[in-house]
Amino acid sequence: MSETTSTMTQRYGTPKRGLSPRAQRWGIIGALVIALAAAIYFTVGMAVGQLEYRDVGYTIHSDTQATVDYQVTKDFDATAQCTLHVLDDSYAIVGSRIVTLGPHEGATSADRSQYYRSDLRTEYRGVTGVVDNCWLLED
């Protein structure tokens, strides 16, 4: 041993050994397994309880009547409300309605999505019908 190494050993003690390649490999595998489990947990956990909605179509029947078709994805036992609008060619709201969508039956995750059709009264002739917003009601 050199004089510097001897002095360092006396001052700080003998150096610690690093992890063996086998221990390093198992550490990396363990970290990957934990990361994968966390990703699955957060992906599945976030999908349950989410509310999604989208426009499907609309029909303008007359100057005072329109129909909006839309799809809502929610949990089976959840109750949601959605605001529907009929707009004119300058994007002004000429008809509006809040609809309540109660619990529904289903067995698979695909059954969480349901199609709905709602009639709206309008003040003037509209050119489009949309779902403006949806939210879950607390029990």
pLDDT at 48: 58
CA pair distance 62, 125, nearest whole angstrom = 7
CA pair distance 112, 118, nearest whole angstrom = 19
Q: Exposed/middle/buried for 66, CB within 10 Å: 0-12, 13-18, 19+?
A: buried
Would the pLDDT of 107 be above 60?
Answer: yes
Domain 52-136 has CATH 2.60.40: yes
Would the pLDDT of 46 be above 70?
Answer: no
Would the pLDDT of 45 be above 70?
Answer: no
Domains of the chain: which residue ranges? 3-47, 52-136
Residues 6+ apart with CB under 8 A from 54: 70, 71, 131
pLDDT tens-digit readout, 75-104: 888 899 999 999 999 999 999 999 999 988
Residues 6+ apart with CB under 8 A from 22: none
Question: Could you tell me which residue, 49 or 28, shows the higher pLDDT?
Answer: 28
Would the pLDDT of 1 be above 60?
Answer: no
pLDDT at 26: 94
Would the pLDDT of 112 be above 80?
Answer: yes
pLDDT at 85: 97
Neighbour count for residue 91 (Cβ, 10 Å): 9
Q: Which of 91, 79, 64 is nearest to 138 (CA)?
A: 79
- For the chain, how many helices (H) and strands (E)? 2, 6
- The answer to pTM > 0.75 is no
pLDDT at 17: 80
pLDDT tens-digit readout, 49-76: 688 999 999 999 999 999 999 999 988 8
